Each structure stands twice: as structure tokens, then as C-alpha cells.
Amino acid sequence: MTQTSESVTWLTQAAYDQLKAELDYLSGPARTEIATKIAAAREEGDLRENGGYHAAKEEQGKQELRVRQLTQLLENAKVGTAPAADGEVAPGTVVTIAFDGDEDDTMSFLLASREYASSDFETYSPQSPLGTGVMGKKIGENAEYELPNGKKATVKILDVKPFTG
């Protein structure tokens, strides 16, 4: 099966290991815990008015959705090293841009899968309009991308650094 670059998620080994550990927990011990909660709530009687049962079933549904998301993500993941500090925008870099060339109106963001989001930076997917526009650009270059309203926007790449976590 061939993969398009849009279905591949690039992860560092550390990010892959973290997501794999979460998947292992959710598909093992967490499944046992939620099954125990559901069984205990079921023993309380009438399920139509049993808030604990319904809450546990909802939690189970969310947990199973997350298992499916992680499984798909990890199946399509490519593990690599952090990008080089060569000033070129790539997945795993923190990019600082200026809007419409106005170096007072700037924003820094992490270009990565949402699964690898950082609390320090807003995260944009490489497949997003902005991510696609800046991908492969170097410091000092302009990038154009399409806004949700169909208009084009231009940003200038001010800085690019590997994300160090």
C-alpha cells in the first residue's frame, strides 16, 4: 500500500513512543477499568435511570474513539529525527512569520501533527493551508496560502528552529 504525503504523520521517536504508550494503556488496562465500571453500574439496577452506567458507557465510547485515532495515526507515522537547523520550514520546526510583511504583526507556531501539539506554541498541520504554504520555505522568503474565504494571504518567514519540546 502506497501512502501519499498527506496521510503520513512525521513524528520524532519520543513522540511516537509517547503515543504508543498511550495506545497500549487505553487498549489494555484502561479497557479493563471501564469494563469494571460498567459492570458495577449495571448491577445497580434499572439502566434507563442509571447515571453512572450512562457516564461509563460514554467514557468507553470516547476511549474507543481515541484508540482508533491513535491506531490510525501510528499506522501512518514515519519516525524520524528532528529537522536540521538549516532555516528551512519542515515538520517539527517552530516557524515565526510576519503577516503581509509587517514585522510588528508576527506569530510563531509549531508545524506538526495536532497529536504533537505543544502548550508553548499553537500547532498547525503540514497539510493545513498555512502549513502547505510555508513548507520548504527558508528564512527571508515569502509564502502564500489560501484563507477560508478563498482569498490569498502572504506571510514572510522570519525564523525557523527545530522544536526541542
Task: Render pLDDT for 6-49 as a digit per residue (tens, 0 to 9).
Answer: 456 667 677 788 889 999 999 999 999 999 988 988 888 777 77
Kindly report, residue by residue over 51-96, the tens digit of the pLDDT: 888 888 999 999 999 999 889 888 877 776 555 567 788 887 889 9
- What is the per-residue DSSP string for 4-45? -TTT-EEEEHHHHHHHHHHHHHHTTHHHHHHHHHHHHHHTTS
More confident residue, 107 or 104: 107
113 has a pLDDT exceeding 80 = no
What pLDDT, on a 0 to 100 scale, did the predictor assign at position 64?
A: 93
155 within 8 A of 98, measured Cβ to Cβ = yes
What pLDDT, on a 0 to 100 scale, did the predictor assign at position 93?
A: 84
R_g of the chain, CA atoms, integer Å: 21
Range in 33-37, 91-95, 112-116, 130-134 the model is least confident about: 112-116
165 has a pLDDT exceeding 80 = no
Q: Which residue has the cell 519516525?
A: 79
List the CATH code of the domain at 9-80: 1.10.287.180
Q: Give the mean pLDDT of 95-103.
A: 81
Domain locations in the chain as residue ranges: 9-80, 93-162
List the CATH code of the domain at 93-162: 3.10.50.30
